[in-house]
Each structure stands twice: as structure tokens, then as C-alpha cells.
Structure 1
Amino acid sequence: MKLVVLGLSLSSSWGNGHATTYRALLAAFAARGHDILFLERNVPWYASARDLKHPDYCHLAFYEDLDGLSAWRDAIADADAVMVGSYVPDGIAVGSFVQEHARGITAFYDIDTPVTLAALEKGDCAYLSSELIPGYDIYLSFTGGPTLSLLENRYGSPAARSLYCSVDVHAYMPLDVPVRWDLSYLGTYSDDRQPTLERLLIEPARARPDLRFVVAGPQYPDHIVWPDNVERIAHLPPAQHAAFYSASRYTLNVTRADMIASGWSPSVRLFEAAACGTPIISDIWAGIEAMFKPGAEILLAHDGGEVIAALDQDGTRMGEAGRKRVLGAHGAEHRAAELEAYLQEANPRARPVPQPKISETINRTGAHDS
């Protein structure tokens, strides 16, 4: 099928997790035989930090403004499916344009569902309105569980479906690099994540000066006082993520407050770290047990004391178990198959594309564990 995606960014991973999510999903979707056009708003902060200019799995094009989007009217009208993502600049106007001109399936892909719903409740969501939701044939949500019923029953979505983030298992795998840190964290600064980062990483770092810690990601305020044993990396391109996780004895997962409240909202970093075989220490939220088995595939921590206790243990077996879980359920191939099924469900006239089983695809490319 022909798929047009209007997303926040494919070209730049600077300060956002959308790019890596789109890259993994769309590469796997293209591998299933589909044609993809990605339309990205040309904004200065991404234009100056592009780390993917010519993807080999889709056509990437830029538009300057809403008037510039009109040049792509025919492509949108002719597509079998058009997907608009969360946080797209002028997303309400973009969504209205798509719903007016698309003749195929229309979908909203929400990589920030709890944040979106909180903003809708306040009436200040910049990229989606309550009136637009019923006009999308499918609401694809990073959040599952009870939120899907909420989207259908309160907001009138014809079909709300979970499409969790995923990982490119060919790009994220264990690497033979020296171990540099006892505990790492990779994530852009967020006010609502910072207290958890303080509790689960900074406080343990102060308590254990003999251990090594690292926080990678942009936008952290200058006023934060980092312990001497916490290294800072301002930006880490996706190409360096696997080496980063492989150099970590453990890594930390921290979830935004809105996503904890909604539950069932796994971060893409969760799957990327696990794919690298790095044992994960995570904060706690409803639904995480559906992603990984606590105590066997992931460690859940309430406080810094539990983190320190974990760091005094060997997490190798937990890391291996987490990686096995990702290869079996959370690879980009799995999400691409789900996306295809959702679009087929909404458009029964579309012809399915025969494909080998996901496990066969992974095994053939040598990405399985021995």
C-alpha cells in the first residue's frame, strides 16, 4: 500500500524520541512491501541537527508551512493510508487538511497519548482537537489498557488501537565494548521526570562515590548540581545508543508523570536498552508487567536503596532475559505487522501482502540469540 506519514521528525533525533520510533517502524513497514512518503515540517531546530537525510526505506520530503503542504495534496489524496503524528507543528490544521483531502484511511499516531489527553482536558493541545478525533479512522496510541476505551467512549474514536513503540533489533544489540558505567540514563530533560531521576540515580550516586554513573540527553538546566561520579553527555545520536547501553552494567528507565498515571505507556528507551542486553531498573507503573516480567526481565525500584542493592548484584541473566523478550514481542517487525493489520482492518478492500513469519525474518538476518 501507499502510506503517507506527517510526523514531528524523521530527519533529526535531537531532543525527541519520535525520530527513532518512526525510523524503526517505517523501515520494517517498508520491508513488508509498502511505499512510504514522510512529510516533515522544515523547522530550524531540527534542520540544524539532522542525523538522517536520505533514508533508504522511504521518501523524505519537507514543507515550509501550511501553504507549502498544499503541494502534497495529490499524494495525500492518492494514498491508501495517511497517518498524522502527535506534536506535528500546526497539527490541528494539518489534521483538518488530511481529513478533507485523503480518500484512503486516515490515522492519528499518538506517541504522547497521556500528554495529549491531559492537554485536551485543559483545552490547550496544540496538535489535536477533540473535534478531529472522530474524523480519524484509527487512533494509534502509544498507551494501551483503559486509555483505549476512553478514546472510543469519551472522544468518539471509531477505533483506538495500541501501537507501542518498538526497536530496530538490527541496530540495537549487545556490543563488545568496555564497561564504563554502573548505571546509565538516556533521556531529554523533563520537569516531571527529574524528581525520579534524583531519587533513583543522583541520590545513589551521592551515596556510592565508588560507582560510576552517566546521564545523557539535552536540555538539562545549568543549575543542576551533578555529583562528581555522574558523567554528563549533552546529546547522544542514535548510532551511538547501542554502544552506550552495552557500556552500562545497568540502565535506568524513568517515566513521565502523565504516562505513569495512565499506565501501559512503555518508553522506546525501555525496548532499546533491553535489546542491547542491558539489565533495566525502572520506576513503577500499571502495565509494565505486560511488557517485561518483574524480577526476571526487569527490576522495579521504589527508591535509591533498592537501586544500590541492585548495583551490587550481577544483572547479566536479567539482561539476557530482557533481550529475549524484546526479540519475541517488541521488535519493529512486530509493530509493522500490527500497523498493517490495523490498516487492513479499517480498509478490508486492501490486499494483504504475504510475508514470512517475524521469527523467520529475525533468524534469517542473524539477530536472534544463540
Structure 2
Amino acid sequence: MKNQLKIAFYGSSLVSAYWNGAATYYRGIIKELNRLGHQVTFYEPDAYERQQHRDIPDPEWATVVVYENNEESAQQVLAQAATADIVIKASGVGVFDELLEAEVLKRRQPHQLVIFWDVDAPATLERMTNNPEDPFRALVPQYDMILTYGGGQPVIDAYTEFGASRCIPIYNALDPETHYPVPEEEKFKCDLAFLGNRLPDREARVEEFFLKAAAQLPEQTFKIGGSGWGDKHMPSNIEYIGHVYTKEHNAFNCTPKAVLNISRDSMAKMGFSPATRVFEAAGAGACIITDYWIGIDFFFEPGKEILVAGSGDEVTEILSKLSAEEASAIGAAAKERVLKSHTYAHRALEADKLFKAHFELTNSASV
């Protein structure tokens, strides 16, 4: 079994977080896999203006191949995976997903490990449950394994029911070289900040946990960042600051007294699905207030390392009592916890063990 594996990874984008919340997850995992000796080529389409909103140049720790947004180009990059040891198709590429999901299996070489890496498992599972004709249902059992961005036992059980041979969560984490405390920036100063794109299955929860709290605390200041909120009616003490580039995330997390995490409906329902931004904010030493979801205490100690609210009224109650000193202590405790237990180096080791165990098992079976 060779220690250096060639990995072909088909995802949304590695170089742009524009309309692409999984970008920092991909970066964290892939950078650490490279440190373990693996060579990753990341294939991403030129779609959704992501290339015009790049956050990083092509990194040293991965080869990035940007292909044109058409089927011919997709087929061309699929052919390039023939020499890879591992072929990974991530969910939510955004264009030609059905094609990519089917073709990585059709083109599988005898020596290859083929993985579906689901960065939005609750949504994928809900889609398959609601549509018996969903073409991905028939493909699930054909993948060597399903890796997920989170979801715990509920996601494992659900994927197993769809015939997955193996389903293993590889949770979000912190890249301490990217997210860390920095000096405060005036433009992000407020009592509570929220960062997240406007998505249909998040908007109602933003109204409950953020807008409602702002309306109940007119003397406090609130800021919301992310794409799509420009025409949303909000209380006058909320300032919309637009898309926040990843290079600004540390200041965005460090500067407010507290930052709010709001899960999407499907993630909250499934549980065990902390958003990437939770770990990013913790790494920057932010005091995090999160909406409730099952499994929070698997990652943080509520009350000491994170504050948990079950409703907008509870966010209001927390904010009305939260001192700057208490917020600072909670942020420091969260930072200590993620550095100890929840970095991408931890997650990459988990993935590395899975990869190597598969090849060792395959090799022993062929002897």
C-alpha cells in the first residue's frame, strides 16, 4: 500500500467562497491531506461568477483545474481521473451534478476507490426521500463509501437505508492558519453579527433568531453579512454589509461582542451538523450564540464554550445580559476547545485512515 495517493476531486470551487459555503471545508481538508503526502487535483466548473470572485489564488497544496460550463468540458475532466487512486464527487457542484455522479462510477478503474462526499447530506437525503425517481438513489450503493460534512448517526442510518455500503461523517473544523484572532475593525463593530447567504431553508430561522432579537433590542446594534439580503425588510438597528470575503472573516468574528450561528432547516432537523463558520468563529476567539440543534455538546460545552438559544426570545435574553467580559471568556474557551479537538488536521487523519484501510483491505482480498 503506497502512502502517497493521487486524488481527483470534483467539487463546486476550491478558490472561491462566492455562493459556495463549502469552500473553507474543502480547503481545510485538502490542505491537510496534502501534508499527509497525498496529491489532490480539484476540478471545478466556471459557474456562478465564482472565478470572478476568487478569495485565493491557486494554492500550492492542490492542483486546480477550472473547466468550462458545458458537458463536453465536464467529460474531458472526467477522463483525467483515470490515473487517480481515489475519485471523489462532492455534492452541490452546481452544474452537471447528475452527469458527474454517474460518470465517476461508469469510468471507475479496477484499482480506484470512488467516493461521494456529501457536503449537504440532510438536503440530499430529503430530496431522495421525496422523489422515488431521483437518479442518485440507484447510484448510492455503487460508491465505495459516502463521506458527509456532518449529520451523525441520523445521516449514517438514512444513507444505510438507501443502500450505502459505508457512510462516515467527516465534520467541519478549524484551519488555525486561516482563522485566528486579529485586531478589531470599526466596520464590523456591533453587539451581534450574523454571516450567511440568503437561502430558502434558512430565511425563516434568520427572521426568528436574528431579526426578532434585533426588533426586541432597539438600543443594541446588529450587522448581517452574506449574499442576497439587500432587499430584505429589517429593523433599523440592523446594518446589511453585503458579501464578506474570507480574508475579512477573522475581523468579522473578532470585532462584535457576539456572533450568531443559524442553521439551515434541514441541518438543524438532522443535528450533528455544525456549520464551518462555527469553527472559524471559535478559532478567532468569538463568543458564539447558536440556535439549538442535537449534538452541540459533542463539539462544545454549552454555557462555557458556546451559548445556545432555542428561539429569538432566548437570543434576546442572552444578549440583554451578556457582558463584554463574559463574551471574551466564552470566546477564549471556544478557541481552546477547537485547537485541542477540532482542527482540519484531526479530520484529515480520519479520512487518511479510511482511505488506507480500504486499500489494505482490497490488497489483502486480491492476494
Answer whether TM exceeds 0.5 for this pair. Answer: yes
Residue 94 in structure 1 maps to residue 106 in structure 2: no
Kindly provide the CA deviation profile for residues 93-138 of structure 1, in whole angstroms up to 9, marking residues without a partner as x: 1122111223210111111000001111122898x60111111111
Give per-residue Cα distances to partners, 1:137-169, cap 9 Å, x unaligned. Answer: 1100122222202212x1111110011122211
- Structure 2 counterpart of 1:76, one-letter code: A
Give the whole-Å Cα distance in 1 for the aligned partners of 2:277 and 2:316.
21
**Residue of structure 2 equivalent to 1:300:** 308
Task: Name the counterpart of 1:16.
Answer: 20
Which of 156, 170, 183 does residue 192 from structure 2 map onto? 183
Q: State the one-letter code of the partner of 1:82.
A: V
Q: Tell me what 2:334 maps to.
A: 322
Answering whether residue 46 of structure 2 is matched by residue 42 of structure 1, we say yes
Which runs of 5 or more residues in structure 1 are unaligned?
352-370
> Where does residue 71 of structure 2 map in the other structure?
66
Bigger drift between 196-205 and 27-36 goes to 196-205
The 1:301/1:133 distance shift into structure 2, 3 A limit, reads same
SS at match of 2:191: strand
Query: Given the alignment of the two structures, is residue 261 of structure 1 paired with residue 269 of structure 2, yes or no?
Result: yes
Aligned partner of 1:79 among 60, 80, 84: 84
Find the aligned partners of 1:243 and 1:278 in 2 and give their Cα distance: 10
* Correspondences of 1:94-133 after superposition (within 5 Å): 94-103=100-109, 104-123=112-131, 129-133=136-140
**Number of matched residues?**
348
| SS of structure 1 residue aligned to 2:331 | helix
The answer to whether the 8 A contact 1:183-1:248 is kept is yes
Match of 2:171 among 143, 147, 164: 164
**Residue pairs, 1:129-168, within 5 angstroms:** 129-142=136-149, 143-152=151-160, 154-168=161-175
Q: Which moved more, 1:66-75 or 1:245-254?
A: 66-75
Which whole-Å deviations, capped at 9, do the CAs of 1:246-266 have from their partners, x for residues lacking one? 011111111111112211111
Deviations 1:39-75 (A, max 9, x none): 0112252233222341121110022233223333553
Distance in 2 (alpha carbons) for counterparts of 1:261 and 1:276: 27
Other-structure match for 1:249: 257
Indicate the larger mover: 85-94 or 302-311.
302-311
Deviation at 1:336, TM superposition (A): 1.0
Asked if the contact 1:92–1:132 (Cα under 8 Å) also holds between the matched residues in 2, the reply is no
Residue 94 to residue 170, structure 1, CA distance change in 2 (3 Å): same
Q: Secondary structure at the match of 1:228?
A: coil
Q: Partners of 1:233 and 1:16 in 2: how far apart?
A: 18
User: Aligned pair 1:287/2:295, yes or no?
Assistant: yes
Shifted more, 320-329 versus 296-305: the winner is 296-305
- The alignment's C-alpha RMSD in Å is 2.0
Counterpart residue type for residue 25 of structure 1: I
Measure the CA separation in 1 of the matches of 2:285 and 2:90: 30
CA positional deviation for 1:25: 1.2
Amino acid at match of 2:302: P
Q: Rate the CA distance shift 1:125–1:265 in 2: closer, same or farther, 3 A.
A: farther
**Kept in 1: contact 2:230–2:240 (CA 8 A):** no
Amino acid at match of 1:192: D
Q: 1:197 aligns with which of 193, 206, 222?
A: 206
Query: Counterpart amino acid of 2:104?
Result: V
The answer on whether the counterparts of 1:12 and 1:49 sit within 8 Å (CA) in structure 2 is: yes
Report what 1:31 is aligned to.
Answer: 35
* Shift, 1:226, TM fit: 1.9
**Cα displacement string for residues 254-306 of structure 1 (whole angstroms, at most 9, x for unaligned residues):** 11111122111111111111111111111111111111111111111123333
Q: TM-score, normalised by structure 1?
A: 0.89
C-alpha distance in structure 2 between counterparts of 1:178 and 1:188, whole Å: 21
What displacement does 1:234 show?
1.2
Distance 1:178-1:87 versus aligned 2 partners, 3 A rule: closer
1:349 Cα offset (Å): 6.5
DSSP 3-state at the match of 1:205: helix
**What is the SS of the residue equivalent to 1:347?**
helix
* 1:160-192 Cα distance to aligned partner (Å, 9 max, x none): 001112221111111122571111100001233
* TM value normalised by structure 2: 0.89
CA contact (8 A) 1:5 1:85 kept: yes
Structure 2: 5+ residue stretches without partners: none
- Of 93-102 and 154-163, more deviation after overlay is shown by 93-102
Deviation of 1:209 after TM superposition, in Å, equals 2.4
Residue 334 of structure 1: which of 338, 346, 352 is its match? 346
Match of 2:340, as an amino acid?
A: G
SS at 1:145's partner residue? helix
Return the offset for 1:345: 2.2
Give SS of 2:200's match.
Answer: coil
Specify the SS of the correspondent of 1:45: coil
- Alignment equivalent of 2:242, drawn from 225, 234, 245: 234
- Give deviations 1:313-334, integer Å, cap 9, x for gaps: 2212211111111112221111
What whole-Å deviation, never above 9, does each CA across 1:204-242 have from its counterpart, x for those lacking one? 2222222111000001261x2222221111101111101
CA distance in structure 2 between the partners assigned to 1:256 and 1:125 by the alignment: 25
Secondary structure at the aligned position of 1:22 is classed as helix
1:216 matched residue in structure 2: 225
SS at match of 1:188: coil
